[in-house]
Amino acid sequence: MSKTATNLIHSIPVDPLTGAISVPIYQTSTFVQEAPGIHKGFDYTRTNNPTRKALEDVVAQLENGKVGVAFSSGLAAIDAVIKLLEIGDEILAVDDIYGGAFRLFTQIYAKFGIKVNYVDTTQTENVFNAITPTTKLIWIETPTNPTLKISDIEAIAKIAKANNCLLCVDNTFASPALQQPLGLGADIVIHSATKYLGGHSDLIAGLVITKDQTIGEKIKFIQNASGAVLSPFDSWLVIRGIETLPVRIQKHCENAQAVAAYLTTHPAVDKVYYPGLKSHVNHDIAVKQSKGFGGIVSFTLKNDTEEAATAFVRATQYFKLAESLGGVKSLLCHPAQMTHKSIPADKRKAAGIADSLIRLSVGLEDVDDLINDLENALQSYTRLINKKQTTIS
């Protein structure tokens, strides 16, 4: 364990030019050349930049991959992977995929002749059965958002390999501190570095990491050709976030486990979704393929209505109502009215996103304060609902 953190911290290079312990921010668009084409390895920042390169090398190591490529958002990273495909190719994707990826697939790539099939990838045989000769890419997220379903990366990687297609894992929710898909057989990992890698809710960034040098070079080509590169300053911020990733994630996991355990005991709470609970449907796979269960906890209320959820999310003090996750400050969101609003109500419910489902991004505060905050909000929501019921009867 200690070796991982030491390796990570020391994989961030000391500046060879000046000895600066922090990676310098090369805030420049271009680099002076001695003669045409004769330069120090950098010619134009869209193509390559020393600060971004430091980040890309660090994340390649962090995910045990060959090539890391940094983009201006998680979606730009996803977009770059899809650009590996050609007209007529098919993607087989997890059914409760990140909404932005769904929008990108259906509203942008469908018109370029790329088809997507969605299946519940937690049942590995669904993947096996849905593969066709034109499937070129399997796309999974594990854990998923917001019900934290887990798919078996190793088993799906075997199916991908046997069928000559690539497996890409969106590793945003777990982070490489908990789960390393390339070691389990995946070909590509993507991150919204906006979340745990950045870790402080102060940037938007995306990463692609490949196991294979050739695929990595193709992604690097797409990065330069399409141009959605991460800026030098934001690259530096992500490096700075990554320095504390192991300790942050450890604390996120501890706090989330305690919050999940507390919620399971509360009479106003119905279901609790957290892979670290023995009651979670995919707990065994989570134990097998990850070192911990992450910082996201979702739950539903006994009073399964949007009104109840709204009353609850307005009553917390430390959990701030906002989209996104993975930062130092605890956040909560109501997927039915926020992140998953664009999904029709019946489809949303079929995916297990109940009207009252609330997603918590458990931050790094003292866990007693977080639990008190939830307790107070659950009490005030219960009072409000009871009052309503007495006035009705």
Ligand X SMILES: *Cc1c(COP(=O)(O)O)cnc(C)c1O
Question: Residues interacting with ligand X, by CB under 6 A?
Answer: 73-75, 98, 100, 141, 145, 170, 172-173, 192, 194-195, 204, 206
Closest approach of Cβ 29 to ligand X, in Å? 23
Confirm whether 187 is a catalytic residue.
no
Catalytic residue among 149, 195, 211, 220: 195
- Measured from each CB, the residue nearest to ligand X is 74
Q: How far apart are CA 191 and CA 204, in angstroms?
A: 11
**Residue 190, CA atoms < 13 Å, CB-side half-sphere:** 27
Closest approach of Cβ 30 to ligand X, in Å? 27
Quick one: 45 or 73, whose CB is closer to ligand X? 73
Catalytic residue among 98, 196, 318, 381: 98
Closest approach of Cβ 197 to ligand X, in Å? 10
Distances (CA, A) of 258 to 44, 255, 264, 299, 356: 48, 5, 10, 14, 21
CA nearest to 348, candidates 300, 383, 284: 300
Quick one: 205 or 377, whose CB is closer to ligand X? 205
Quick one: 50 or 65, whose CB is closer to ligand X? 65
Angle at 190 between CA 174 and CA 46, to 5 degrees: 135
CA nearest to 286, candidates 173, 126, 379, 136: 173
Check: CB of residue 265 under 8 Å from CB of residue 272.
no
Confirm whether 383 is a catalytic residue.
no
Closest approach of Cβ 144 to ligand X, in Å? 8
Closest approach of Cβ 198 to ligand X, in Å? 9
Confirm whether 170 is a catalytic residue.
yes
Q: How far apart are CA 375 and CA 381, in angstroms?
A: 10
Quick one: 338 or 384, whose CB is closer to ligand X? 338
Quick one: 100 or 183, whose CB is closer to ligand X? 100
Q: How far apart are CA 355 and CA 306, in angstroms?
A: 5
Catalytic residue among 79, 96, 170, 355: 170
Q: Which residues are catalytic?
A: 46, 98, 170, 195
